[in-house]
Structure 1
Amino acid sequence: MRHPLLNDNGFILPYTLLLLMIVLVLALASKDLFISKYQYLSNMKSIQERNVSVSRSILLEIENGPHPSGNISTEFGEVMTTSEVLNPQEVQLEVTFSRDNKVFLPVTVVYNRETKQIIRWE
């Protein structure tokens, strides 16, 4: 009588099952790794788009003076700026970024009017 796990060439079923289990575990682990990396890259892209929009609007304010409406539309979202003169040389800008009905925390920048250099960025 032949053993159920043997065929004419030897052990087949245990090694095949072990190999199948290893392949399945590796496939599931790589899928989770791919999804987590994709989510990380999507989040980083969104953060970089926000930083570019805020930086661009700050540079425009410093170079050209206050924008008349206080709102600047960029390809990534809306940037609202308000400026306040602290003293004859220093101006404080408060920049708020919004996209898809989400408003992010404001950024405060103090710069020198004459030299157009940023003194403080919070």
Structure 2
Amino acid sequence: MARSGLMVLAGVVLACLLVCAPYAEGTITCGQVVNSLTPCISYLRSGGALPPACCTGVKNLNNAAKSTPDRQTACGCLKQASASISGIQPALAQGLPGKCGVNIPYSISPSTDCSKVK
């Protein structure tokens, strides 16, 4: 009897772990992404001179996004932010990492599938 009770308990615990286990989560938050890139907004809207604080933010964000979940989170946050901030020019957003000397493994675009970012 004790053995079957233990097996039932083990099964319930396993089921809870499978149902409740979070998907892979990174340590980067959308707040960090937005804060890092806020100095870039004027450039992303109208071009012109690239503020040094913008590239500092881009580099810091890139350095923080070392794992696949972090890069996927950053990608999703970038997509959300670009959709919610009016006037962002997609071509400027796409070229921003390169202008700051950073190479990222995905394109900054509304059509990027962030779940495929590695």
Per the TM superposition, whether the score is higher than 0.5 is no
Structure with the larger helix share: 2
Larger Rg: 1 or 2? 1
TM-score between the two structures when normalised by the length of structure 2: 0.39
Structure with the larger strand share: 1
Query: Does 1 or 2 have the higher relative contact order (CA < 8 Å, sep 6+)?
Result: 2
